[in-house]
């Protein structure tokens, strides 16, 4: 059975972990970092104009395969950079044309991954709000059951156990959100680093 102190702690957890968004334009954005919906091309690419590379990169199977490989965050950045330099250094390669296609693909791929992560974070925030409301309402209900005469101990125990489980899920999600909030920045940094690698090879 949950004590009155336990009830207070549960209610506090649920009421304090979902704070107002720092930027009213994005009420569901849970991270301390400001939400930037898309990476700006100018922020990560100082090389030659991509021209129509943004439409053509998918037509080249080798470029597409390298984009998929280099964009994957499970591949260490250094390995991705080496794969790019090896590809562009291959005999007969038009470095500038290939580099533009490659970066266009990386820009599209990593922007899409970044958007997917950010949308997921906002979905979790909405779930957390619903979970917090449920914890609060269940806490009030449990307190009423504990104050009732006669006491229905079976219902008290059932709701108490449910509250413990709901709170645990809430806290687990909170920890995951804190970790995932770093991912968009990691993607930004990866794209910038890969862009610099390509630029250095085609200069």
- What does the pLDDT look like over 162-194, one tens digit per residue? 888 888 888 888 889 989 999 999 999 999 999
pLDDT digits (tens, 9 = 90+) for 67-88: 999 999 999 999 999 999 999 9
CB contact at 8 A, 37 and 194: no
* Residue in the structure block whose two tokens are 């970066």: 103
Distance of CA 27 to the CA centre of its chain: 16
Q: What is the pTM of this model?
A: 0.81
């Amino acid at each position: 059975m949950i004590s009155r102190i336990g009830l207070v702690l549960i209610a506090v957890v649920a009421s304090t972990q979902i704070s107002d968004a720092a930027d009213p334009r994005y009420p569901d954005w849970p991270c301390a970092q400001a939400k930037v919906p898309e990476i700006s091309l100018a922020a990560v690419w100082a090389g030659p104009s991509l021209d129509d590379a943004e439409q053509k990169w998918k037509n080249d199977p080798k470029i597409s395969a390298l984009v998929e490989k280099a964009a994957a965050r499970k591949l260490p950045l250094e390995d991705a950079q080496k794969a790019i330099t090896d590809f562009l250094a291959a005999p007969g390669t038009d470095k500038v044309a290939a580099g533009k296609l490659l970066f266009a693909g990386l820009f599209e791929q990593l922007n899409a991954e970044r958007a997917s992560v950010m949308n997921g974070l906002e979905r979790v925030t909405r779930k957390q709000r619903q979970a917090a409301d449920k914890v609060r309402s269940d806490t009030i209900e449990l307190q009423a059951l504990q104050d009732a005469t006669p006491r229905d101990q079976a219902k008290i125990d059932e709701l108490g156990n449910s509250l413990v489980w709901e709170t645990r899920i809430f806290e687990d999600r909170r920890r995951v959100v804190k970790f995932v909030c770093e991912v968009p920045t990691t993607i930004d940094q990866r794209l910038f680093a890969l862009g610099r690698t390509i630029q250095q090879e085609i200069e």
